[in-house]
Copies of this chain bind each other. A is one copy, B any other.
Amino acid sequence: MKFPDAYDKLRNWSTKLAHMGSAMALLHWDQSTQIPKNGMRGRADVIASLAGIRHGMATDPEIGNLLDIVTASPLTDDNLTPEAINIREWRRGYDRMCKIPQALAHELAHVSAEGQFVWQNARPDNDWGRFKPYLQRLLSLKQQEAECIGYVGEAYDALLDIYELDLTTARIEPIFRKLAPALADLTQRISSSMPRRNTEVEYGKYPIPDQRAFALMVAKEIGYDLDSGRLDASAHPFTTGIGPGDVRITTRYSEDYFNEGFFAVIHEAGHAIYHQGLPLEYWGTPFCSPASLGVNESQSRMWENFVARSAGFWKFFYPFAQEKFSALKDIGESRFLFSINKVNPSLIRVEADEVTYNLHVLFRFELELALMRGNLMIDDLPEAWNSKMDDYLGLRPRTYAEGVLQDVHWSGGAFGYFPTYTLGNIYAAQLIFKAEKDLGSLEERFAAGDYKSLLAWLRTHIHQQGRRYAPSDLILKITGEKLNADYLIRYLTSKYKALYEL
């Protein structure tokens, strides 16, 4: 077989895998938004079956032969054409998957599913003992997986690489080490300046249909195409790409708290806008994918925090908000702006503000690194968690549920995932800085209702690039600099100095 035939067969295989992915995404979405009560009981089995079938297709030995053909006869010397990118990514994904013995893959899938299920009940029951054996088992399986995949530096790197291509402990640790004291210091200064103003204005009466209408209006205005998406309610907000013209978002509303529903919509719209801007003519191939989890997170965080919590943004949108919500009628714009930007160290990551959020991530990174290295035993994890929490945020969980049991990630075996959240923030700050250099003051544009300029900049530099570059190369190419946490530190310090008059 010659190159063109082999490439076509691979593209066809890749598209069929993507179609199975579409079906699985829809099954998940439906399970979270539409399913009747009794439909739940069979749904997990359906998704597991499709995952198994998909895994069989993904590791089909014939694919190895086709990959050998296309890698032996390169189409062109340019390794950044869509075709070259796809071949590179197919090769990488296939080789990694084939390195994991079927028995291990099967056990991982099985224990992850079970672990998540046990965690779901152990958390509300505050029952660490019930969850512990699963976490122990998952850690051991992930250590085995890392050995199968292989690594240069250390085992944890093999897991980091799953979520953020080419990321290593050696690369991320110094960056995180620099970030930690700067954020801890900023948090400390903010905390000691409080309470300065009473600004709980985001608590009040916010009727859900009005929240939905307002959030949709804003999401549309910043660039989320509702002809290629939709907004529903679910227990946990998420974005799911079901097809080339079908990227759906969800949120969770609270009738008496504005922030929860609104900022989740903008966060998810940030992901969705990225998906909608990918090179869709290559849908079904790796080229038409976000560059990485971290870059994907940079888009959601950028729209949620850098844009939708900025003064310029509310200069434009606050009159609409006041018109929609009677609770805001007598609240001045600056009071509202302060209230949605309050910094308040708390125990739960998903409720954390822009500044302290990263501290939650940083100590989770340290904990899972120690676990993978064997420097920390599962038995000692709850206490290690609590003492890190105390070190970084000055708070001590009173229960397992408030501490080590709070996140879903480890229960599904996702070690190495947390760092991508803070990476997203670092990328976002670095990118926004460059965008502002190219476009001039963004605050002014936001205040004038111009979100198209930033969107167009992101489309060109990030969205349309798909998975062309590894994330570190992408950042370097756009900003002319390596990953640099200084931008995030500078952005947060300057923003919160002004807000808190530090």
Structural contact, B42 and A243, CB atoms closer than 8 A: yes
Of the listed stretches A76-84, A193-201, A223-231, A467-475, chain B binds: A223-231
Count this chain's copies in the assembly: 2
- CB pair A227–B41 under 8 Å, yes or no, is no
Which residues of A in the span 39-60 have a Cβ within 8 Å of any Cβ on B?
A: 39-43, 45-46, 49-50, 52-53, 57
Whether A38 lies near B230 (C-beta < 8 A) is no
User: Number of residues in A with C-beta < 8 Å to the partner?
Assistant: 40
Given the known inter-chain contacts A20-B50, A26-B30, please indicate yes or no for A41 contacting B230, CB distance below 8 A: no
Q: Is A242 an interface residue (CB 8 A)?
A: yes
Out of B16, B23, B35, name the residue touching A23 (CB < 8 Å): B23
B residues within 8 A CB of A15?
A: 45, 49
Known contacts A26-B30, A27-B26; A228/B39 CB under 8 A: yes
Cβ-neighbour of A53 out of B52, B53, B245 (below 8 A): B53
> How far, in Å, is A20 (CB) from chain B's closest CB?
7
Are A230 and B19 interface neighbours, CB within 8 A?
no
**A232 CB → nearest B CB, Å:** 9
**A283 is an interface residue with CB less than 8 A from chain B:** yes
For residue A22, CB closer than 8 A to chain B, the reply is yes
A34 on the B face (CB < 8 A) = yes
B230 touches A34 (CB 8 A): yes
What B residues does A37 contact at CB under 8 A? 227-228, 245
Task: Pick from B20, B26, B36: contact of A245, CB below 8 A.
Answer: B36
A386 to chain B, nearest CB (A): 41
Q: How far is the CB of A115 from chain B (nearest CB, A)?
A: 22
Tell me how far the C-beta of A55 lies from the nearest C-beta in chain B, rounded to whole angstroms. 13
Chain B residues with Cβ below 8 Å from A242 are: 39
Contact, CB under 8 Å: B20 / A49: yes
Shortest Cβ distance from residue A129 to the other chain B in the assembled complex, whole angstroms: 32
Q: Find out whether the CB atom of B19 lies under 8 angstroms from the CB atom of A49.
A: yes
Bound-state Cα–Cα, A314 to B17, Å: 52
Encoded as 1 (CB less than 8 Å from any B CB) or 0, chain A from 13 to 33 comes to 001100110111011001000
Give bound CA distance, A57 to B41, whole Å: 24
Determine if A246 is an interface residue (Cβ-Cβ < 8 Å): yes
Give CA–CA (A26, B245) in the complex, Å.
18
Residues on B with beta carbons closer than 8 Å to the beta carbon of A50: 19-20, 23
Tell me the minimal C-beta distance from A93 to chain B in angstroms. Answer: 19
Q: In the bound complex, do residue B45 and residue A19 qualify as a contact, i.e. CB atoms below 8 Å apart?
A: yes
The distance from the CB of A375 to the nearest CB of chain B, in whole angstroms, is: 43
Please give the distance in Å from A35's CB to the nearest CB on chain B: 7
Instruction: Check if B38 sits within 8 Å of A246, measured CB to CB.
Output: yes
Kindly name the residue among A35, A39, A242 whose own CB sees the greatest number of chain B CB atoms within 10 A.
Answer: A39
Residue from A20, A23, A229 having most chain B Cβ neighbours under 10 A: A23
B40 touches A245 (CB 8 A): yes
Task: Tell me which of A40, A50, A225, A248 has the highest count of chain B C-beta atoms within 10 A of its own C-beta.
Answer: A50
> Residue of B at shortest CB range from A23?
B23
Assembled-state Cα–Cα distance A37/B229 (Å): 8
Residue of B nearest to A49 (CB): B19
How many angstroms from the CA of A226 to the CA of B37 in the assembled complex? 9
Within 8 A of B (CB), among A402-460: none
Decide: B230 and A36 in contact? CB cutoff 8 A.
yes
CB pair B36–A227 under 8 Å, yes or no, is yes
* Set of chain B residues within 8 Å of A22, measured between Cβ atoms: 27, 42, 46
Question: How far is the CB of A109 from the nearest CB of chain B, in Å?
Answer: 15
Tell me, yes or no, whether A382 is within 8 Å of chain B by CB: no
Nearest first, the 10 closest Cβ-Cβ pairs linking A and B are A38-B245, A39-B246, A19-B49, A42-B243, A38-B228, A23-B23, A19-B46, A37-B227, A22-B46, A42-B244
Can you name 28 A-B pairs with beta carbons within 8 Å?
A15-B45, A15-B49, A16-B49, A19-B45, A19-B49, A19-B50, A22-B27, A22-B42, A22-B46, A23-B23, A23-B24, A30-B30, A36-B227, A36-B228, A36-B230, A36-B248, A37-B228, A38-B225, A38-B244, A38-B245, A38-B246, A39-B228, A39-B246, A40-B245, A41-B243, A42-B243, A43-B246, A53-B57
